[in-house]
Chains A and B, each alone.
Chain A
């Protein structure tokens, strides 16, 4: 009897501790983001107030209005930056997915010598730190005149995303049994038709999530963009964030508003693909 009771008490205690820890952990994860969202609705003066104002009493859309008006405080051309980011991210993602699909298919379906060496070789190109790469890229791009252009950035981001999309897509194609394509061939398809009518549709959700991952990487990238973009013609939003800072002041409210603008698409997309993303990474990775 007693043993039972003490076990039960202990179980209750553990459960409480578990919930508390979880709550604290989730708070640490979520609070900084929520704080940014909150601050995007507050004037910079109030955010910076000393002593601090804990309960906001002046919530408004001024920061957003200023941002989209373009000529607001500091006149940061947010809409242009947004369009640059969008064009560069979408185009580079589309190309990276096509290239990644070809490569991922090769790894998933063909056996060849030195396969894992080639795989790691491709991955390693991704490990080259952005700063270290940006120096020579800067020189080359300046020489051939594609510095500060959409084209240059798209090319860079395609290269940056290809290794990872190959990894993910390899995983997704591996989940599609190869008998499906064989059955399609027997049903009268060419290899090409078998791919587009059977294998591609089956792996589609996974490929889409690889695309979203690539999109987010381009969308958020800073180290390369900060060197390879110079003006409003190609600056992306992460680089644009720096426009809100100057030597001694920092337009924190405006920056938060831009941050929210950056996060929202990312949030929506990540939410859509979270399940596939995990499946792709672990399957490709674990099942070798």
Chain B
């Protein structure tokens, strides 16, 4: 009797692979297909009309698309770097505290529990030009008597969005870097002190290389999740004013659901998917090499 037996590891991974294939891969294949059609939600038969790479050509020559694309990259770059730096700073601050660390750690994780929609609403209200907390505070303290248009001016709106994004996600970095700081062995630190390193030199040559893998873990986790910014932007400005905070994700949502041009939206969706995959794979690579440098591979 011939019976092919699956290796146990594959058997164990099978449920995960099946679920992900059904809910992620299959729809993505569909969307890949539909990106070659003029599919509109309102006209189901349009799904069967092949128009080749028309949607992609259209996207690539669409200035609105490129503006959103560029803005997304800028937002991600600024936000991720800021989050990393602030997270590092916060972790260092907390690690130096001698009492009440547990409480501080819990507080630090506070923003992680907020649903991104909620963060969106929260900051939409805080930055509201008329009755928002920030303007109220500035005016009551007499710093300005102007109404600052936080969410109405294009540049300020971008700032507000980045602020909200950084507020929610800095804690991911802070908490993981803090874990890294706890894990540093004491010996090299003490050896450096005895060797006459200043605190900056110690940090630069011992602490930093050691926590690098932790930073990459945080980066990898974040890159899996960057699109959560969609929820925040969607609520705070919905791409406005006048598309000046339009990101890839809001553009896709608008094209697909509001304008009902599914085929076109899927074509743009694919670019955002590749962007996400690129970031993810990049940071996983970094993680592996940082790990090997520290001799933690295997």
Judged by CB atoms under 8 Å, the answer to whether A and B touch is: yes
Interface residues of A, Cβ cutoff 8 Å to B? 18, 21-22, 25-26, 28-30, 32-33, 35-36, 47-52, 54, 98-100, 102-103, 105-106, 109-110, 112, 116, 118, 120, 122-137, 139-140, 155-156, 158-160, 162-164, 166, 216, 219-223, 227, 237-239, 241-242, 252, 255, 259, 262-263, 266-267, 270-271, 274, 278-279, 281-282, 285-288
Looking at B62-70, B175-183, B184-192, the stretch in contact with chain A turns out to be: B175-183
Q: Considering only CB atoms, which chain B residue lies closest to A219 in the complex? A: B115
Shortest distance in angstroms between A23's beta carbon and chain B's nearest beta carbon?
10
Contact status of A278 and B93, CB under 8 A, knowing A122-B16, A124-B281, A288-B298: no
* A131 contacts across to B, CB distance below 8 A: 227, 230, 249-250, 252-253, 256, 269, 272
Looking at B21-29, B52-60, B148-156, the stretch in contact with chain A turns out to be: B21-29
Shortest distance in angstroms between B12's beta carbon and chain A's nearest beta carbon?
4
Top 9 closest pairs, chain A to chain B, by CB: A129-B227, A159-B23, A220-B115, A132-B269, A136-B27, A136-B31, A110-B9, A106-B12, A266-B113
B100-129 CB contacts (< 8 Å) to partner A: 104-118, 121-123, 125-126
Contact B287 A223 (CB under 8 A): no
* A220 contacts across to B, CB distance below 8 A: 113-118
B249-298 CB contacts (< 8 Å) to partner A: 249-250, 252-253, 256-257, 262, 265-266, 269-270, 272-273, 276-277, 279-281, 284, 287-288, 291, 296-298
The verdict on B130 contacting chain A, using a C-beta distance below 8 Å, is yes
**Interface residue SS majority, chain A:** helix
B60-90 CB contacts (< 8 Å) to partner A: 89-90
Interface residues of B, Cβ cutoff 8 Å to A? 7-10, 12-17, 19-20, 22-28, 30-31, 34, 89-90, 93-94, 96-97, 104-118, 121-123, 125-126, 130-131, 133, 136, 139-140, 167, 171, 175-176, 178-180, 183, 213-214, 217, 220-221, 223-228, 230-231, 234, 249-250, 252-253, 256-257, 262, 265-266, 269-270, 272-273, 276-277, 279-281, 284, 287-288, 291, 296-298
CA distance A30 to B114 in the complex (A): 12
Q: Considering only CB atoms, which chain A residue lies closest to B108 in the complex? A: A29
CA distance A54 to B140 in the complex (A): 9
Contact A102 B12 (CB under 8 A): yes
Contact A128 B24 (CB under 8 A): yes
Q: Considering only CB atoms, which chain A residue lies closest to B292 in the complex? A: A288
Contact status of A286 and B253, CB under 8 A, knowing A124-B280, A222-B231, A278-B175: no
Shortest distance in angstroms between B217's beta carbon and chain A's nearest beta carbon?
4
Contact A140 B296 (CB under 8 A): no
Contact status of A162 and B273, CB under 8 A, knowing A136-B31, A139-B34, A139-B262: no
* B117 contacts across to A, CB distance below 8 A: 220, 222, 238-239, 241-242
Residue from A120, A252, A266 with most neighbouring chain B CB atoms (10 Å): A120
Contact B130 A50 (CB under 8 A): yes
Contact status of A270 and B109, CB under 8 A, knowing A99-B15, A120-B281, A124-B277: yes
Quick one: which of A32, A105, A118, A129 contacts B273, CB cutoff 8 A?
A129
